[in-house]
């Protein structure tokens, strides 16, 4: 890892915390929160966001696996007017995108809640990314990084790869305002999800048992520091 890659990753963390990532910092095991994986080529990155470190050689496979699991539960639990499984999976890495079956599968299945954030020093080849959306933003322009991440998260028809390039000529660490925004947004999202869970259990008895099992299993994993 280079200092430049680390700084780009920190910019990504800062923007995610301020404007994108949903997680209540007072309840990091809330199962409705977004998931964040960080590859082991970027040690010490994460800041205020709860994250799982994964080996760089399997980071993409791990991110796709988590997104696939979410899709499987969403397909069985979500109802019209009751979308109970809707979290996003983010991966921050400087490793090259592998030409693996899981990456191809993500594009084929349209895993639209999967976002890979590439902070590598060199532009990697994008072969094998059929069905993926790609964006690029300079690390020196926080507004551009936000725009790219927002576009990627709003495009739920396909997985996304966001490249952050160049030198981070801005303050990379989350500011106090970023952290206040992160906390307020996360607390509000958790309260809305809790109300949705309560009404879901009351109005959808057929799916209630599976929802309880998913919540119990996911909460135990998140309490143990695991995303998946």
pLDDT digits (tens, 9 = 90+) for 57-75: 889 999 999 999 999 999 9
| CATH code for the domain in which residue 20 is found | 3.40.50.970
Domain count, the chain: 1
Is pLDDT larger for residue 186 or for residue 96?
A: 186
Paired strand residues for 114: 89
Q: Tell whether 160 is covered by a domain.
A: yes
DSSP H helix total and E strand total for the chain: 6, 6
Q: Tell whether 96 is covered by a domain.
A: yes
pLDDT interval class at 126 (50, 70, 90): low
Looking at 88-175, list the stretches that DSSP marks H as alpha helix, in order from N- to C-terminal side.
101-109, 142-154
SS3 138: strand
Average pLDDT over residues 39-56: 86
Average pLDDT over residues 175-198: 93
Q: Tell whether 150 is covered by a domain.
A: yes
Can you give the residue range of the structural domain that contains 35? 3-167+174-223
Q: Tell whether 228 is covered by a domain.
A: no
Average pLDDT over residues 186-208: 96
Is residue 121 within 8 A of residue 5, CB to CB? The reply is yes
Cα–Cα distances in Å, from 202 out to 82, 198, 199, 215, 227? 12, 6, 5, 16, 28
Indicate the average pLDDT of the chain: 91
Q: Tell whether 111 is covered by a domain.
A: yes
Q: Which residue has the tokens 């990084």?
A: 145
């Amino acid at each position: 890892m280079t200092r430049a890659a680390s700084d780009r990753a920190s910019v990504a963390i800062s923007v995610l915390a301020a404007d994108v990532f949903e997680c209540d910092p007072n309840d990091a095991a809330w199962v409705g929160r977004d998931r964040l994986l960080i590859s082991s080529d970027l040690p010490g990155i994460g800041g205020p966001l709860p994250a799982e470190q994964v080996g760089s050689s399997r980071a993409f496979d791990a991110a796709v696996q988590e997104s696939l699991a979410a899709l499987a539960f969403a397909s069985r639990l979500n109802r019209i007017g009751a979308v109970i499984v809707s979290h996003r999976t983010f991966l921050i890495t400087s490793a090259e995108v592998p030409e693996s079956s899981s990456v191809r599968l993500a594009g084929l299945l349209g895993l639209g809640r999967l976002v890979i954030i590439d902070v590598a020093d060199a532009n990697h080849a994008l072969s094998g990314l059929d069905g993926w959306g790609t964006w690029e933003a300079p690390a020196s322009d926080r507004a551009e990084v936000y725009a790219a991440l927002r576009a990627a998260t709003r495009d739920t028809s396909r997985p996304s790869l966001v490249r952050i390039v160049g030198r981070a000529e801005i303050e990379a660490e989350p500011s106090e305002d970023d952290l206040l925004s992160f906390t307020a947004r996360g607390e509000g999202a958790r309260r809305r999800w809790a109300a949705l869970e309560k009404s879901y259990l009351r109005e959808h008895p057929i799916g209630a048992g599976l929802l309880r099992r998913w919540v119990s299993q996911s909460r135990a994993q998140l309490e143990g520091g695991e995303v998946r």
